[in-house]
Each structure stands twice: as C-alpha cells, then as structure tokens.
Amino acid sequence: LMANIANAKVIDVDITGTLDGGIRGYGGSNIVIDGVIVHDIGVSALAGECGMGIWFGDYAHYENQTDGLLIQNCRINNIGGVGLMRGDGIVVYNAKNFTLRNNNITTVNRMGISAGSDCLYFKINGNYIVDTLLAGIDIEPDAHYTASNFKIYNNTIIGFASRFLTATAGVGQLFGIDVHANTSYGKVYKNILAAGQYGTEAFHIGNHADEIEITDNDLIGGAVVIPLFIKTFDGSGSKHIKINRNRAKGTCKSFALIAMSEDVYISENIFSGNSSADGYFLSVATTLGLNVDYNRSSNTTNFIKSGDAGDTSNMKVTNNNAYTLGSGIEIVTSGLLSEVIMTGNSLLCPASSIGIYLEVTMDGAITNLNLRGNIIPLATNKIYVSPSATGWDTLTRNTRSQISVAYNGMQLFELSTNSNIQYLNNGWL
C-alpha cells in the first residue's frame, strides 16, 4: 500500500497472485510506476470484492488527493475481478496531474483503464488494450462527483466488451471509450477501436457532460458489426459536443444518436453502414442547436432518421453527401421542430423514396424552414413538408397544397414582395 508517499518510484517489478490489487495507493505526489508487470490478480472466486491491476484512490481517505502520478510501460494481464466494482487493469480516482501511457493491458474483467471521481488534468495515451469485459477506457465519476480537463489519444483498443456479461462482473458499459456523466473539457482523438462480440457503441457520452470533443478516431473491423458509433445521452443529455473527422466503414450499423442535448457539432465524418434495414447516419430528438455539415455517409437506410424529433430547434444540415437505401432525410415530430436549415446537401436516394420528408404527428408543429440548394437527382418526390408547416425561409406567402408533394418542375411558392416565381428542379435542388 502506497499511502501519502511523495517522490516514490516502483520500477521493473513482477507482481502476481494477490487478491485485491497488484499495486494500491492513495494520496501522495510525484509517484512513478514504470515497467511493472501485474498479472493473475483476483482470479480466486472469493466472496466480496477483489481484483484490480493498479489502483490509486481511496474513499476512506478521500481528504488525500494524489497530485502527480505517472503509470507507464506496464504490462497488466488477467485481472479477474470478483464483484461489481472490480476487474480494472488500471483505475485512478481523486487525483490530478497524472498520465497513463504506453501500457499493455490484456484480459480484464471490467474496464481496461478507468478514471473516476475528482480526476483533473490528466492524459491517457499510447496504451494497447485487448479483451475487456466492459469499456476499453472509462471516464466515470460517481454520483455528485466530477472529472474534467483530460485528453485520451493514440490508444488502441481491440475487443472491448468481448465476453459475456455476468451478474457479478459489472454494469453494462459495453463501449470502446466511455465519457460518462458529469465530465467536462475532454478531448478524445486519434484512437483506434475494434469491438468485441458484445459491444454496443464505440463512443458514449453520458448525461451532463460538457465540452467534449470526439475527433479523428477510427472504428475498424471487430468481432461483430455493432449498433452505433456514438451516443450523447444516458438518462439526460450533454452539451457543447464536437464529433468531427471520425471514420467507420461497415463496422457499425448507425453513426450518431443525439438526444436531450445542446449545441452539438457533427462534421467531416466518413461513415459507411452495413446496409441494414434500420441504419442511419444520424438520429436526433429533443436537441437545441445541432450542426451537421460536410459529412460523407453511405449504405444506411436514411441519412437522418427521427421517429419523433420532439422539441428540436436551431438545426443546420449543410453540405453533406449521402447515399441511402431509403429516404434521405426523414423526420417526424410530436413537438416543435423549428429554425431548420437544410441546404447544399447531395442526397442520392432511390427513385421510390423521398429526398427530404418532414412531417408532424399528434400535436407536433414545424416552422421556420430553409430548404434551398439541395441536390436530389434520383428521387421522384424531392421534398415533402407537412401541410401544417409555417414560416418557409423569409417568405410570407406559401401555398401549402402545392408543396405537400413536390416534384421536378412544380411551383413551390411565390414571393410576396415581387413577381419572381421559384420552382423545384434539378438546377437548384
């Protein structure tokens, strides 16, 4: 036990066979753990909680925060983990100014690396993580705690959520990298991920997360095609999220599920689904502020699909290029869909589908739309907008019956202040 030790180093030690942890500590400062081998920890099926690789933090001594911790070049293998909260390769909480880098972590019974409550100013980089029961990397403060100011980059995670989840093994965070509840100011970039057999999402952003960026990551071929690349909510939403320049080609069914969130940017991603019947690039619900631009998407049923968008406003979809098996953009709402701009998109969808479809259900309403300059070359019906929608662009006079089912050459609306007539046609759609 390394308790409140300063300027300590543990180098080139081989640790095996312990029940509760290879190395455990709390408090202290300027601690280095370098080149340590930790293996076969907590593998005995004892009652209670046991089994961690390297573990820093102790709620029983929470007044002692670790300041300055470096764990590098360690090999951690076969961490058994008996109980709901055991089985991590490396776990750190109540610490600041720490780095976890260049570690090799294989076959753990929970997370590969976990950073928890009150972790501040830390980096997780260059680690190779294989065969985890749950998430490869998990940033998850407990309830009423936070974690902030972190970078997760250049990690390779192969086989996250690779084994069957039993009742004693932990909770169901079957993600590659999980940026969970109450996290802020985090950047996750240049990581390579491959899913295990039970993976559900490559990236997960939990409720009340703020200022999180997921950028330049790759989801490569894994054991299965997983359902989703990224989700931004878990019970409630997140805000100020950037999802940029990520790549996934045939490795997951859908790209992004955005709900109960605020100020989300999705740009320059390259995505190809697996041609499943219900795949999409984006599904959105109850979101304030959404920018979707310069993405390339193919082999999904829809580019944007919302069974019920709820109250969604300030939505901007511009300059995307999408090939779909069904309608390009299909949004239904029972709430208020307002301040929507969809311009400059190229939507290559079948002739029997609709390029852009906006409809209401129940007490839903649609208002303040700008649908200019989209290219929809194949679909016979280019744009459908609910007859109850109001506030097209800057126009004050709309003929709703004429634009309910629009097609090439049909008059769309007449400007109320001059004699110009605008038409739907391939020239500006």
For residue 428, the model assigns a pLDDT of 31
Looking at residue 131, its pLDDT comes to 95
Rounded to whole angstroms, how far apart are CA atoms 87 and 77? 11
Report residue 352 as tokens: 């029997």
* Residue 417: exposure state from Cβ atoms within 10 A (0-12, 13-18, ≥19): exposed
Determine contact, residues 421/413, Cβ cutoff 8 Å.
no
Q: State residue 50's pLDDT score.
A: 66
Closest CA to 257 of 283, 234, 280, 279: 283
The residues, any chain, with a CB within 8 Å of residue 345's CB and separated by 6 or more, are: 303, 317, 318, 319, 320, 321, 322, 328, 329, 374, 375
Tell me which residue of 271, 278, 268 sits closest to 330, measured CA to CA.
278
Q: How many CA atoms lie within 13 A of 160 on its CB side?
A: 36
Contact 76, 109 (CB under 8 A): no
Three-state SS at 401: helix
State residue 49's pLDDT score: 58
The rounded distance, in Å, linking the Cα atoms of 343 and 398 is: 19
pLDDT along the chain (429 residues), means of 10: 93 87 93 96 64 87 93 95 77 97 96 96 98 94 93 98 64 86 96 95 94 98 92 86 97 96 97 93 96 98 96 97 97 96 96 95 93 92 89 45 40 34 34
